[in-house]
Amino acid sequence: MVFNILSGILTLLAVITVFILIGCSRDETVIDPDRFSVRMDFDTGPLPEEFFYSYSIAIGPGNEGCFTFKSMDESYKRRFELDRDSIKKIILWLSENNILEDDWKYGEPIDGAPNISLSIDTGKHSWNTGQIPELLPEYNIRAKNAFNYILGFVPEEIRPGAI
């Protein structure tokens, strides 16, 4: 009888330990700021050379970013850093605004539109909007808002005035 009681107590302790370990395990949906990266690309599309320009923004993994700009008159690459809180803000905003989704819906291809895209990688999963101008209106608006939100974290002194 004593053996049965001890065996029951040990089983109960084992079950409690498993529940504690499961409860304390890391949530797989949490995005690690150290593994998070985002890339945004923009170009004006099929314009004459004197009006054409392009830029890309890459942030992460980690806190380093890079802004690359090209036009007929100039070309440069500038590095910048973001603090961990800024990266957490970006991740939270993307999550709250349903940007981290797999099923971007497209309309018809648009001839002559600018080329705009957004790619996100968490180390576990990646998302790509494809060509933002070709997204259906509700997806287009969300993707453009994300693009502009992230652009706001690039220091103004390294962006040309129009961007």
Is 29 domain-assigned? Answer: no
Is 2 domain-assigned? Answer: no
Count of structural domains, the chain? 1
Is 104 domain-assigned? Answer: yes
Is 42 domain-assigned? Answer: yes
pLDDT level of residue 5 (50, 70, 90 thresholds) = low
CA torsion, ordered 156, 89, 116, 138, to nearest 10 deg: -130
Residue 162 has pLDDT above 80, yes or no: no
Per-residue pLDDT reduced to its tens digit, 8-51: 555 554 445 434 443 443 344 588 999 999 999 999 999 999 99
CB 36 within 8 A of CB 121: yes
Is 147 domain-assigned? Answer: yes
pLDDT of residue 25: 37
Is 21 domain-assigned? Answer: no
Q: Which residue has the higher pLDDT, 162 or 112?
A: 112
Per-residue pLDDT reduced to its tens digit, 109-134: 888 899 999 999 999 999 999 999 99
The full DSSP string for 31-71 is PPTTT-EEEEEEE--S--TTT-EEEEEEE-SSSEEEEEEEE
Give the helix/strand (H/E) hosting 79. strand 75-81
Query: In percent, how much of the chain has pLDDT > 90?
Result: 66
Domain limits for position 97 = 37-158
Per-residue pLDDT reduced to its tens digit, 84-101: 999 999 999 999 998 987
Is 135 domain-assigned? Answer: yes
CB 59 within 8 A of CB 37: yes
Is 76 domain-assigned? Answer: yes
- Domain containing 62 — which CATH number? 3.30.1560.10
What does the alpha-carbon distance between residue 25 and residue 39 come to, in Å, rounded to a whole number? 30
CB 40 within 8 A of CB 131: no
